[in-house]
Amino acid sequence: MSDIAVPGRKLNVKSVKDFAFQYAIYFVFVALVLIITIREPSFLSLNNFRNILSMSATRIIIAMGMGAILITGGVDLAAGRMVGLAAVLSASLLQALDYSRRMYPDLAVLPLIVPIIIAMLACSIFGFLNGFIISKLQVPAFIATLGTMVAVYGTTSLYFDRPPYGAQPIGGLDRRFTTLGSGYIGFDGLYSIPYIVIIAAVVTFITYVLFNKTTYGKNIYAIGGNAEAARVSGVNVGRTLVIVYTIAGLLYGLGGSLEAARTGGATNNYGNGYELDAIAACVVGGVSNLGGIGTVPGIVIGVLIFSVINYGLTFINMSPYWQQIVKGAIIIAAVALDIRKYLKKR
């Protein structure tokens, strides 16, 4: 029986299945929130919602860069190390004047935006190198970014392990910087919006416009769908890939700087594993690991799902080991759904 009788019209079962299949990840998100809320009703509060958004903000920025790369059919294993580089650079240049262990004791107070821009530019250089190696030297993205990952970590460690204090955690950050990471605008308490959430919202909006309203967006989807066909159609594949990886580097730099501001410090190991979290969030949010498919709202939902897992399951005192099992199951299910969509389209 393919149709269900409904007063005034027929409801096609196949259409319902297709709808449920297409938006399965959103149902998973709602289900997670409901399960946690049933277990602990106090979870559903404005304060917890704000905390989840604050945790998600920098991850969303990083995932936006990763999402564009995945849509082209590539991957960036160096993302986490670039986040660490940005965190170390921005934190080292924004330590309080009265902090006794400043990396640069004689450095004058810099405008807040300057160290963040420096960190973003540093990461964009490595992003540009990734794009160049992949597009011009024809090195597979996995290998190219694996090599860059090691190089970036070495660069960060050399910078971090320097006189006068050597490899010591960078702390004592300027109040302006930490306020950017943990401050908010609006009324005190529940009815306030963290600055980093506003920044993440702006980045998300700009990314949405780039993906959906520009030639750049059309090109990345075309490359991910079929790079050779895109080339024949007049798309400059090499230049587009360089731009994609460079922009991703800029986003990693911004995300890393804001993450240092949010947590109040940085070390050379900062950002380790962030690339895997970003890839997982994108895939869970519907970005195809085969390229050519993905949306900005899906990426945001993917990040929020993992934030709900991290925050919500901790909130109900679930063991961290069980949390890892839940994460793994969701990732596997998302990839399985992605492959089924691909096979169905074929």
Asked whether residue 160 is domain-assigned, the answer is yes
| β 184-186/192-194 pair status | antiparallel
Q: What domain range includes position 185? A: 56-272
Cis status of the peptide bond prior to 194, with omega within 30 of 0? no
Whole-angstrom distance, CA of residue 227 vs CA of residue 194: 40
Cα gap 91→114, rounded to integer Å: 12
| Cβ atoms of residues 63 and 324 within 8 Å | no
Q: Which residue has the higher pLDDT, 166 or 237?
A: 237
Tally of domains within the chain: 1
- What is the pLDDT of the chain when averaged over all its residues? 88
Mean pLDDT of 56-83: 96
What proportion of the chain, given as a percentage, has pLDDT over 90?
59
Q: What is Dmax (Cα atoms) for the chain?
A: 79
Could you tell me the pLDDT band of residue 342, with boundaries at 50, 70 and 90? low
Q: How far apart are the first and last CA of the chain?
A: 26
Structure tokens at 62: 């990083």
Q: Rounded distance, CA 82 to CA 90, Å?
A: 12
Phi, psi of 191 (to 5 degrees): -95, 60
Ramachandran area for residue 171 (φ above 0: left; ψ -120 to 50: alpha; else beta) = beta
Task: Assess if residue 132 is contained within a domain.
Answer: yes
pLDDT tens-digit profile of 96-121? 999 988 999 889 999 999 999 999 99
Q: Is residue 339 part of a domain?
A: no
With cut-offs at 50, 70 and 90, classify the pLDDT of residue 1. Answer: very low
∠ Cα 307 273 45 (to 5°)? 10
C-beta separation of 301 from 25 below 8 A? yes
Please tell me whether residue 186 adopts helix, strand or coil conformation. strand
Strand partners of residue 10: 5
**88 part of a folded domain:** yes
Q: Mention every residue, 6+ apart, whose C-beta is less than 8 A from residue 247.
A: 65, 68, 124, 127
Say if 171 falls within a structural domain.
Answer: yes
Which of 174, 197, 175 shows the shortest CA–CA distance to 186?
A: 197
By the 10 Å C-beta count (0-12 exposed, 13-18 middle, 19+ buried), 269 is classed as middle
Do the domain assignments include residue 227?
yes
The pLDDT confidence band at residue 133, using thresholds 50, 70 and 90, is very high
Is 13 a domain residue?
Answer: no
Phi, psi (degrees; rounded to nearest 5) at 232: -65, -30
Lowest mean pLDDT among 19-33, 110-124, 252-266: 19-33
Residue 1 covered by a domain:
no
